[in-house]
Amino acid sequence: MLLPPMEHPRRSEKYFSHLSPYFLETDMEEIRAGYTFSKYGHRNQTRDSGERYFDHPKAVSLIVFDDFGIKFDWRIIVITLLHDIVEDQYILTERRIKINFGRIVAEGVKFMTKDEDSKSVFFERLLLCGQWRPIVGKLADRIHNLRTLDDGTPEKKRKQIKETREYYFKLCDAAEKCIPSKYKKAIQYARDELTKLCDRLELSLV
């Protein structure tokens, strides 16, 4: 497996030690590779807040792991770590992701990537994909975006609230139909959290 230069081990030690009790060492190798690709690919990118962009996919992976309680599945961790790479940075193609991480991860990243599609086309494709990992990853992605929107403009807040109510509860419905039963509680958590975050943001606009 070809990898970009590794970051200093101590910077990622806390993240890996948090996940490692739930994964085989071979699974952790996949997660480390996804982490490294994501950090390297987003190295010169920042969010609107000024924070480094890599903190976003890293946080999304931890929402899946900690908040949703989806453990023992390295593929969804890697999908969330890489979910913006193809769209934003072009460091990895779909073919290269498939070679490095397998078909499930490549398809998961593909379904989470907007490309040039309109929002309605993107969400329709995601709703119908029949794969729980990219849908759940997208729910975690939206939760993190809403949690970090306190300093956003009123226009951006209204847009995110409208989009969340229009599309993301439908994604919850779709996820419930295909997610393994042991993870179904994650969808109820996502539904409750999205509702709470939208309500909070709406109050901030009053």
Contact 165, 110 (CB under 8 A): no
Mean pLDDT along residues 100-129: 92
Percent of the chain with pLDDT over 90: 78
Name 44's Cβ contacts closer than 8 Å, sequence gap at least 6. none
pTM of the entire predicted model = 0.92
90: pLDDT strictly greater than 90 = no
Q: Where are the domains of the chain?
A: 9-204
Which numeric CATH code is attached to 9-204?
Answer: 1.10.3210.10
* C-alpha closest to that of 58 among 117, 144, 159: 144
What's residue 180's pLDDT?
97
3-state secondary structure of 4: coil
Mean pLDDT, rounded, for 8-29 = 89
- Condensed to tens digits (0 to 9), the pLDDT of residues 115-158 reads 777 889 999 999 999 999 999 999 999 999 999 998 889 999 99
